Chains A and B, each alone.
Chain A
Amino acid sequence: MLTLDNLDKVYRTGTFGTSDLHAVRQVSLDVQRGEVVSLIGESGSGKSTIGKMVLHLLDSSGGTMTFDGRDVTKLGFRARREYYRKVQGVFQDPFSSFNPIYKVDRTFETLRRSYFPRVTGSEWRSRLDDALAAVTLEPDDILGKFPHQLSGGQLQRLLIARALLLDIELLVADEIISMLDASTRIDVLNLLGELKGRGLGILFVTHDLSLGNYVSDRVVILYKGRVVERGETSAVFDDPLHPYTRDLLASVPHLDRTWDEVEAEEAERTQRLAGRCLYHEAITAQGRSLGEEADAADGVPDGVGLVEYAPGHFVGCFRKAAEEKCPAAT
């Protein structure tokens, strides 16, 4: 449904736009209907930048985006409105998405005025009830309340309900549960699971891997703006290949294993992969016939290409930063 192809973002920083910050480097990924794709990476890796480009809150600096085959890299005002009927975002801090001086109902009124001016009052009310029911909120508990009278989890679900009213096809969810309590986090995650069952595609941005793992079908691991590994969630979690992915997984606080235990398991894999780079091994061994990615890698700098190591499991060069040397290079 959504396909990003070599998407790039350079922020012009410095007083006169003198220094550039290459925040997203040739990122390619796709999200299909009825699946959750998790975008995982440390702070500053470019996750939100990608999410914002998908939502057209930021312009991209290079590469293309398509939605159902249609190029949506650049959209005019009118086209953007149409796009927002299908694609919506929900962000980390639910409180900042509501104006504290108005009742939460106003959010829905604004939506109705701009998108559904011809829908009758009773019809609108029934759609609203449906959307609230989908996020397991009781209208009576919610409507007529001010934001501060609701919990973070309730507000977050309200924002999702708002997105659902548009009958969207893709939801960009950027760290939507990190501010919530454990007891409400799981409700929001379950809701995402249910929505994907109903055909919604979700780009789920997070730095918490245990949460990413619970609902996502595929994961994309981002490091310093580039995709270092991606694949089916279970493949990447069971057999992390890239040094960064391995570090990341060894840092996750588990509930059933201590960090020392996890590190001991990881040490074995680290030893097996020491001084190697699966990307370059694949490229040298097979020319460029290992997978679509490798073919497409013609003309793409080594630092950002991926090879298909196992079916559906892609990994990039083992260097950590684009400007670093590959560990296999001597």
Chain B
Amino acid sequence: MALAVNDLKVWYRTRRGDVKALDGVTFEVADGEIMGIAGESGCGKTTLGKALIRLDTRMKHVGGTVVLDDDELPLADDAAMRRHRYREVSLIPQYAMSAMNPTRKIGRMIRDLLSAHNVRYTEVLPELERRLKLVGLETDVLGRYPIELSGGMKQRVVLVLSTLLNPSLLIGDEVTSALDVSSQKAVARALVEFRDHGFVKSMIVITHDISVLFQVADTILVMYAGHLAEKAPAKTIISDPLHPYTKMLIGALPKVGDRYEEQQLEGIEGRPPSLLEPPAGCRFRDRCPLAHDKCAEAPPFREVSEGHHVACWAVS
């Protein structure tokens, strides 16, 4: 087992109270697995990714454990996490592309990152160049500024530099968003290739774009308002989802060939609850067509068939 997350709770401290962005999630990611995370904006995807790397000052670890390759990660201890960060768990943050320092050449940026982790640039340079070529980039990108690269090229650079030390787990937060379809495909394929080459053992790919997950992920985890709704093999999530939220979410995605005139797809009415004072019980209750009395109690996230977990009282 590469990663085992157990009842993890990470909240944000705010003046108005705690935002319960990640409120008791339990799941595992196997060796070699690419797990996708999907869910509406604000459901806690980025929070989950960050929790496994570094809690910023407003985040607090309220409970739960994370075990990576048999080692428990000291989430709340920033100094102790240093040892794991980048070498064992690496994160490509959401908006990484736009956060690149525009005055630094790509090579310089990588050099700085490596030295912050006590790695000599010259030592890894041959491997760095090899991997750049593998993702279809010329090694002269190292001498260029971020602004000279397209979005897709930047994301591939970020992928290469985030995985140079062969981490056990890579978390990619919206790495294919904001790219057009051709660049999206190149980046998505590079992710799979890096797993196949063993540059990273397992991956968590966060995106709200489920069709991209269908292309790259082995399994998909669907989150809703700080809770888990469903996890299953990617194909199952698309073709046989069980949770009412997943069903509605998949039903809202037009496939190429679906036409408004022929068959109108439906969105999901309403909005997720506020995470400041989320209601007790199932957080999808207000929008769920199957909601019933029992749903006032939070449904457990349980395995209903092999590799298929669902949190819903209406699913047997």
Given contacts A185-B252, A252-B256, whether A42 and B182 have CB atoms under 8 Å apart is: yes
Smallest CB gap from A43: residue in B: B180
| Interfacial chain A residues near B180, Cβ < 8 Å | 42-43, 207
Pick from A43, A181, A190, A237 the residue with the most CB of B within 10 Å: A181
* Interface core residue of B208, B249, B255, B260 (most chain A CB under 10 Å): B260
> What residues on B are CB-neighbors of A185 within 8 Å?
252, 267
Interface residues of B in 210-238 (CB under 8 A from A): 210-212, 214-215, 238
Structural contact, B256 and A254, CB atoms closer than 8 A: yes
Find the residue from B151, B267, B268 having the highest chain A CB count within 10 A.
B267
The CA of A140 and the CA of B260, in the complex, are separated in Å by 29
Q: A213-B256, A214-B260, A251-B184 are in contact. Are A186 and B266 (CB under 8 A)?
A: yes
Are B255's CB and A210's CB within 8 A?
yes
Residue pairs across A and B with CB atoms within 8 Å: the count is 110
A253–B209 contact, CB under 8 A? yes
What residues of B have a CB within 8 angstroms of the CB of A184 in the complex? 267
Interface residue from B181, B214, B249, B264 paired with A183 (Cβ < 8 Å): B249
Tell yes or no: A248 within 8 A of B by CB.
Answer: yes
Please state if A237 and B265 are interface contacts (CB–CB under 8 Å): no
- Residues from chain B with Cβ under 8 Å of A42 in the complex: 180-183
Say whether A213 contacts B181, CB under 8 Å.
Answer: no
The answer to whether B256 touches A210, judged by C-beta atoms less than 8 angstroms apart, is: yes
Known contacts: A211-B254, A214-B260. The answer to whether A183 contacts B268 by CB under 8 A is yes
> Which residues of B have CB within 8 Å of A249?
256
Report the separation of the CA atoms of residues A184 and B188 in the bound assembly, to the nearest whole angstrom: 25
A237 and B254 alpha carbons, distance in the complex (Å):
14
Shortest Cβ distance from residue B34 to the other chain A in the assembled complex, whole angstroms: 14
Q: A253 vs B150: C-alpha distance in the bound complex, in angstroms?
A: 20
The one of B182, B260, B268, B271 in contact with A251, judged by C-beta atoms closer than 8 angstroms, is B182
- Quick one: which of B148-200 are within 8 Å of A by CB? 150-151, 178-185, 188-189
On chain B, the number of residues with a Cβ less than 8 Å from chain A's Cβ atoms is: 41
Is A265 an interface residue, CB under 8 A from the partner? no
Bound CA span A305–B40, Å: 44
Q: Which of B188, B249, B255, B261 contacts A182 (CB 8 A)?
A: B249
Report the Cα distance A182→B271, complex, angstroms.
13
Q: Which residues of A are found within 8 Å of B80, using beta-carbon distances?
A: none
What are the interface flags for A176-200 relative to B under an 8 Å C-beta threshold, 1 for contact and 0 otherwise?
0010011111110110010000000
CA distance A189 to B259 in the complex (A): 11
Bits for B16-45, please: 1 = Cβ < 8 Å to A, else 0.
Answer: 000000000000000000000000110000
**B126 part of interface (Cβ distance < 8 Å):** no
Interface residues on A, range: 35 or more
Interface centre among A151, A152, A183 (most CB of B within 10 A): A183
Complex Cα–Cα for A183 and B183 (A): 24
- B257 / chain A contacts, CB cutoff of 8 Å: 213, 237
Main secondary structure on chain A at its contact with chain B?
helix
Mask of A255-269 contacts with B, CB within 8 angstroms, 1/0: 110110000000000
Contact A255 to B238, CB < 8 A, known contacts A182-B208, A183-B252, A213-B259:
yes
The answer to whether B215 and A253 have CB atoms under 8 Å apart is: yes
> What residues on B are CB-neighbors of A159 within 8 Å?
none
Given contacts A186-B267, A215-B260, A207 and B181 within 8 Å (CB-CB): yes
Task: Please name all residues of chain A whose beta carbon is closer than 8 Å to the beta carbon of B182 when the two chains form the complex.
Answer: 42, 247-248, 251
B304 in the interface, Cβ–Cβ < 8 Å? no
Question: In the docked arrangement, what's the CA distance between A187 and B264, Å?
Answer: 10
Residues of A within 8 A of B185 (CB): 251, 253, 259
Q: How far is the CA of A237 from the CA of B268 in the complex (A)?
A: 28
Interface membership of A209, Cβ < 8 A = yes
Report 19 cross-chain contacts, Cβ distance below 8 Å, ordered by A residue.
A42-B180, A42-B182, A181-B41, A181-B208, A182-B249, A186-B252, A186-B253, A209-B256, A210-B211, A211-B254, A213-B256, A214-B258, A237-B257, A248-B181, A249-B256, A251-B184, A253-B181, A253-B212, A254-B215
Q: Which residues of B contact A (CB under 8 A)?
A: 40-41, 150-151, 178-185, 188-189, 208-212, 214-215, 238, 248-250, 252-261, 264-268, 271
- CB-based closest 9 A-B pairs: A193-B260, A253-B211, A214-B254, A187-B267, A183-B268, A251-B181, A207-B180, A42-B180, A251-B185
